[in-house]
Structure 1
């Protein structure tokens, strides 16, 4: 397993999110979730990163909201499994996401990681529409200290499992950043989803 600098999360972080049980039951591709377009990918060679808001002190998150895709979900803490991959929220709880609680908390300096299911056997789950998110969209994370961290989406990308860029996704950052991850890409009836949708965002304000 490949390791990265932010909390040793390996590339199998979201494997358990990706079975695609709903697509198996309804016919592969019939209800495929939206995938990000090339226009939402990060662009290189256009200057430095946009300036963000000052980092917040560490505080565990309790809830994530993404208004443009109607996400409003509680967050549970996720730990590593014995094999070293990130555990996942219970599949039966469709409107539940998780954050890697041994890593950066959303809003403090560094890269915070949130993951959730795209679907389960009964239908769409919390991050089903993540691939439809656009640059500039707002992500709100309520924190246990009573503050809300506000993030702006910088890019939405999809990667197949064989070319997942560990360091780009999980690597340490010099400003408060957030990654939101679910399954996506191609789909196989035998193995489920063959990749991941990753949202890249940075802190722009807090309240």
Structure 2
């Protein structure tokens, strides 16, 4: 089963140029292309008053509702400019896209996880069951814990991947958790959709 491949445009590396971002799903392949994050910022949630945190690399992801307690690895770029993914045989591993903000910094911090690895349920298998108000906790290397509240869930065809909403500029600290889902296409060997959980920082300790 093919690993997930996310194509990072120059904007994802912090450069404002518009590029194409190809998304294929975690642990289930497939994919399409979407216009890269442009300069249009997403709206700031009106209820968040938590100040952005200083940069600190994430080390652990906890989602109480899903009984997830996952180590986080750094994800860079492959030679073809697709984003690396956690190894398929490490079912509990998630990965943070190191070209973007760390969780708790202002902006959209992106964490990827497989939903299936080598034919077995993986860490984000139940990601689509999250609901607004559920919490996500990220432990960072400086010892701080950034707590996020899920604000919305989205399941969308990979061909219509919402790059602006995932990678676009934010005026507040946000998080995006991404895996794959939807119908399994036996002809391609991949699921046809992405599942995306959006969240905002609500506490830091």
Q: Give the TM interval when normalised to the shorter protein.
A: 0.7 to 0.9
Q: Does 1:180 align with 2:190?
A: no
1:163 to 1:19, Cα distance in 2 relative to 1, 3 A: closer
* RMSD (Å), alpha carbons: 2.1
* Alpha-carbon offset, residue 195 of structure 1: 1.4
1:63 to 1:10, Cα distance in 2 relative to 1, 3 A: farther
Decide which of 187, 199, 203 is 2:197's aligned counterpart: 199
For structure 1, the residue ranges without an aligned partner over 5 or more in a row are 21-46
Q: Which residue of 2 aligns with 1:50?
A: 47
| Mean CA deviation greater in 73-82 or 181-190 | 181-190
* Alpha-carbon offset, residue 14 of structure 1: 4.2
What secondary structure sits across from 2:73 in the alignment?
strand
Q: Distance in 2 between matches of 1:144 and 1:2?
A: 25
Give the aligned length.
Answer: 181
Q: Does 1:96 align with 2:93?
A: yes
1:123 to 1:184, Cα distance in 2 relative to 1, 3 A: same
Runs of 4+ in 1 over 4 A off after TM superposition: none
Q: Distance in 1 between matches of 2:8 and 2:71?
A: 29
Tell me which protein shows more strand as a share of its residues.
2
TM-score by length of 2: 0.81
* Alpha-carbon offset, residue 17 of structure 1: 2.8
Q: Which residue of 2 aligns with 1:38?
A: none
Q: Distance in 2 between matches of 1:15 and 1:83?
A: 17
For structure 2, the residue ranges without an aligned partner over 5 or more in a row are 1-6, 31-43
Q: Deviations over 1:4-39 (max 9, x none)?
A: 74437954344453249xxxxxxxxxxxxxxxxxxx
Q: Does 1:7 align with 2:13?
A: yes
* Alpha-carbon offset, residue 190 of structure 1: 2.5
Equivalent residues of 1:10, 1:84 under 8 A apart: no
